[in-house]
Amino acid sequence: MATAPSSTYSAITLNINGEKYPLSVDHRTTLLDALRERLDLTGTKKGCDQGQCGACTVLLDGRRAVACLQLAVAAEGREITTIEGMAEGEQLHPVQQAFLDLDGYQCGYCTPGQICSAVAVIEEHAAGWPSAVTDDVRPEAGPPPLTADEIRERMSGNLCRCGAYVSIVQAVARAAATRTESAQDTESTETTETTETAA
Ligand code: FES
Ligand code: FES
């Protein structure tokens, strides 16, 4: 693993899925190659290797990024989340569960990228970020309804050669609804606790 010191190599530590991974990398190594070839985290897929298909999507500090266009050295200090970090033990992430329940895949090659992207899409939407198809982009308008058009636009960076788009859109919609319900449950529990404390 250790590589002789060189002006083209650096010793870095990547923070991936909550774990620290020290490694020495050529400065030209992409995050995608570091994940797959150096760290054996092969859940992140290589499709085009030029930023066009989304198969290599990971989260950097919670935001979507295509790992094939990110240098590993530039990812040091960032919180990297890959598909391997989505589940909590045996408990799948709600987006993973929705893809499973609604057949949001066929061959599965694009699926890790689709899921990472969908996780961020749902958070971006909940935070009120507009998309290119949002009618009312005023901040006070709040999040637009997460229609199929909204989901298709927001997920448009992730291609699926099997054409499983119909099920993917349904899975994202299901996972977003699950997130909303769970946020409402948390809110109502907090309100009840506040009321009981005040009484
Ligand atoms: S492999 Fe990175 S976008 Fe296609
Ligand atoms: S499920 Fe095969 S490429 Fe998307």
The total of other beta-carbon atoms located within 10 Å of residue 193's CB is 10
**Ligand 1 pocket, residue 73 CB under 6 Å:** no
Residues 69, 47, 157, 12: what is their CA dihedral angle, to the nearest 10 degrees? -30
> Interior CA angle at 173 toward 167 and 175, to 5°?
100
* Burial state string for 125-140 with b = 16 or more CB within 10 A and e = fewer than 16: beeeebbeebeeeeee
CATH number for the domain whose boundaries are 86-199: 1.10.150.120
- For ligand 2, the distance from its centroid to the CA atom of residue 103, given in whole angstroms, is 11
Average pLDDT across each block of 10 residues of the chain; the chain has 199 residues. List them in order.
71 98 97 98 98 98 98 98 97 98 97 98 94 91 92 98 98 94 76 66
Output the pLDDT for position 41.
98
pLDDT at res. 120: 98
Return the pLDDT at 191.
Answer: 67
At 113 the pLDDT is 98
Residue 184 confidence (pLDDT): 77
Bridge partner residues of 79 (DSSP): 15
Sign of CA dihedral 188, 192, 197, 199: positive
Q: What is the pTM of this model?
A: 0.90
CA of 161 to the centre of ligand 2 (A): 5
Superfamily of domain 1-85 in CATH is Beta-grasp domain (3.10.20.30)
pLDDT at 83: 98
- Rounded to whole angstroms, the Cα distance separating 170 from 97 reads 12
Domain boundaries, the chain: 1-85, 86-199
- Ligand number nearest CA of 110 is 2
For 38-194, strand residue ranges (E) read 57-60, 63-66, 79-81
Contact 45, 105 (CB under 8 A): no
Residue 5's pLDDT is: 57
Contact 109, 116 (CB under 8 A): no
Q: How far apart are CA 114 and CA 155, in angstroms?
A: 8
- Ligand 1 mean position, distance from CA 78 (Å): 20
Contact (Cβ atoms closer than 8 angstroms) between residue 118 and residue 152: no
